[in-house]
């Protein structure tokens, strides 16, 4: 099949676009100056992330399909964390000309499949040459007439609950870093997060006062929520789900590991949550995050390591 | 002030966000999982571009402010080329930790100022560490109830017209490549395009059947329009605006040079266009682009040079 340098920019775009089925929210898909996507609410939720090879993914640790799934998932989760329904992704793809065109195709297959899981489509994008591989993903979504679930709505007395896996991706990354290839479930969790996309709608229908997706680590992300809401978040570590597979560092992974894209929210004290949600703490007057009354462990992701 | 590694991810985000005034279309700006932007039309126009240092800009040829202006301009122009009003940008910024924080601040000043010219705001984004500087810009816009101006609506008999500078950025780039620093007007055109943002509304109100922005070069971009519309575009080279400052290669620059972000459109034969538009040709039955009846010159931008 050859490299993307062989097939050229427009050849590559044609190959990739062919793999991107367009859902009903896409009024005008790839091929024009811009895409047109439905926004029936009259507002659009929009978020963007850059993923850089060597920082956010490694081609020797993850295949292109999983890199695509994960890149889409982390942005779709941001849209869901606003209480919105994802509608579309735009994908910027930078790669060296000697990258195999088949590698790029499998990447886009992963992007398209994760979109399908969340009910969205890849509606447009850009491909450029670059020394390394970089993905720029923008996700759009629709609020369906509801107020966005921000980080700033938590009130003292609210309960704090989570939905989705915690610490699995971090434990998997620790295994790969240590040169190990199992347990397979943890490696898979690092390679391909499975955000519970239903969490946004569930949180909204149960009166959530604030919601976010756990991308940098539970303690760090709840710290952002605490700061934006002007509350202190108190976590009871014994309530945090730590399955045995996470190993001896399980609680640390669950508290500080990012990239599982679980959802954490606050709810009124009398909220009756579905069993898929686990109450792990309470919002109080004050500031910051406490775990069992103490300063929490650190170990969160640093985007600019020196 | 120090490097972005010194100030850290969240310190950098705080510094940059402070420089981004939020216009009325931004319902929720930077700081949450996603931004919320007005989309009164019920549809949103969305486009994304990646700009890679060394490929799309050089820090020794352009300062951060101009890089920001240009990065914003090329995406805002794509929104206008759909006949839409730009509302917001999302900006992904990847940079090495040793990048000066002040450099990043001036970049964002440029992004914000270009947005202001077009009536939009920088509503959100992402900052990450990377070996080189990469910008990922997503622009959003609103159609105001009108049909999008696509590339596929040109019909045989339509006139082809352009609005904005052609060849200036390419001539400026040729000067810089040759180690020259003047004429200043051409260097400035390379550093900071000035898309005539009013062109989208003007084209719409004069019945344009197709519109695009000239990013890769007039001949190449009209080739895309011809292909999408199923027509042949015939250009009369004597009608193409080639000011003397473009020098002996002026016509070649005007036909093949990109990055000025002029607009090219097709209009019904009886359209009476404002003087800011120049009629340069006609759409006919057939395929491809002809200049004075011949195969056009090549020389367009290749995204994957080998």
Interface test with A, best of B22, B71, B303 (most A CBs within 10 A): B303
> Would you say A270 is a known binding-site residue?
no
Give the DSSP letter string of B232-301: EEEE-GGGS---GGG-TTHHHHHHH--SS-EEEEEE-TT----TT-EEEEEEESSSEEEETTBPPP----
A-chain CB neighbours of B27 within 8 Å are 43, 148
How many other C-beta atoms can be found within 10 angstroms of the C-beta atom of residue B270? Answer: 8
How many other C-beta atoms can be found within 10 angstroms of the C-beta atom of residue B7? Answer: 18
> Which CATH code fits B8-142?
3.30.1330.10
CA distance B121 to B87: 7
Chunk chain B into consecutive blocks of 10 residues (it has 306) and report each block's average pLDDT, rounded to whole numbers. 90 94 96 97 98 94 96 98 98 97 97 98 96 97 98 98 96 93 93 96 97 95 97 97 94 93 97 97 97 81 46
B41, B47, B148: residue with CB nearest A124 = B47
Interface test with A, best of B44, B121, B212 (most A CBs within 10 A): B44
For B105, the token pair is: 């601040």
CATH architecture of the region A159-291: Alpha-Beta Complex (3.90)
Interface test with A, best of B50, B85, B154, B258 (most A CBs within 10 A): B50
Backbone angles phi, psi at B45, to 5 degrees: -90, 135
A-chain CB neighbours of B302 within 8 Å are 8-9
Provide the residue count of chain A. 306
Cross-chain residue pair A124–B150, CB shorter than 8 Å: no
- Among candidates A239, A228, A236, A240, which has minimal Cα distance to A288? A228
The share of chain A scoring above pLDDT 70, in percent, equals 97
A-chain CB neighbours of B24 within 8 Å are none
Q: How confident is the model at residue A304 (pLDDT cuts 50, 70, 90)?
A: low
Question: How far is the alpha carbon of A216 from chain B, nearest alpha carbon, in Å?
Answer: 12
Average pLDDT over residues A286-304: 78
Residue A9: predicted pLDDT: 87
What residue spans define the domains of chain A?
A: 8-142, 159-291
Q: How confident is the model at residue A10 (pLDDT cuts 50, 70, 90)?
A: confident
Cross-chain residue pair B35–A55, CB shorter than 8 Å: no
Residue B154: predicted pLDDT: 98
Q: What is the ipTM metric for this complex? A: 0.94
The share of chain A scoring above pLDDT 90, in percent, equals 93
Residue A303: predicted pLDDT: 45
Question: How far is the alpha carbon of B294 from chain A, nearest alpha carbon, in Å?
Answer: 23
Q: Is the pLDDT of residue A236 over 70?
A: yes
Average pLDDT over residues A141-166: 98
For A217, the token pair is: 């680590």
Residue with tokens 């990354």: A173
Residue B182: predicted pLDDT: 85
CA distance B37 to B121: 10
CA distance A299 to A256: 6
Cross-chain residue pair A134–B130, CB shorter than 8 Å: yes
More confident residue, B23 or A297: B23
Residue with tokens 């994960």: A70
Alpha carbon separation from B62 to A249, B52, B119, B187, B258 (Å, rounded): 49, 13, 24, 9, 17
Residue B306: predicted pLDDT: 42
CA distance A241 to A222: 16
Cross-chain residue pair A130–B55, CB shorter than 8 Å: yes
């Amino acid at each position: 099949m050859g490299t993307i340098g062989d097939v050229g920019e427009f050849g590559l775009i044609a190959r990739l676009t062919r793999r991107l089925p367009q859902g009903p929210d896409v009024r005008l898909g790839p091929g024009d100056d811009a895409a047109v996507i439905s926004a029936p609410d009259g507002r659009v939720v929009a978020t963007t992330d850059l993923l850089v090879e060597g920082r956010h993914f490694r081609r020797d640790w993850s295949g292109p399909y999983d890199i695509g799934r994960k890149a889409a998932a982390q942005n779709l989760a941001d849209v869901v964390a606003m209480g919105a329904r994802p509608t579309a992704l735009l994908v910027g793809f930078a790669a060296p000309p000697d990258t195999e065109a088949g590698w790029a195709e499998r990447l886009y297959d992963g992007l398209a499949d994760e979109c399908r899981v969340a009910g969205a489509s890849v509606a447009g994008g850009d491909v450029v040459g670059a020394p390394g591989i970089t993905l720029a993903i923008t996700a759009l979504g629709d609020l369906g007439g509801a107020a966005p679930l921000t980080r700033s709505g938590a009130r003292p007395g609210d309960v704090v609950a989570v939905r989705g896996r915690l610490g699995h991706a971090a434990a998997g990354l620790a295994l790969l870093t240590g040169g190990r290839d199992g347990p397979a479930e943890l490696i898979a969790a690092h390679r391909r997060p499975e955000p519970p996309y239903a969490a946004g709608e569930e949180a909204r229908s149960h009166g959530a006062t604030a919601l976010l997706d756990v991308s940098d680590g539970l303690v760090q992300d709840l710290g952002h929520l605490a700061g934006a809401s002007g509350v202190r978040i108190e976590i009871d570590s014994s309530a945090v789900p730590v399955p045995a597979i996470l190993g001896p560092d399980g609680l640390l992974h669950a508290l500080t590991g990012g990239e599982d894209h679980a959802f954490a929210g606050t709810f009124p004290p009398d909220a009756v949550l579905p069993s898929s949600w686990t109450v792990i703490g309470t919002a109080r007057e004050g500031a910051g995050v406490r775990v069992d009354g103490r300063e929490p462990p650190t170990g969160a992701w640093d985007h600019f390591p020196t």
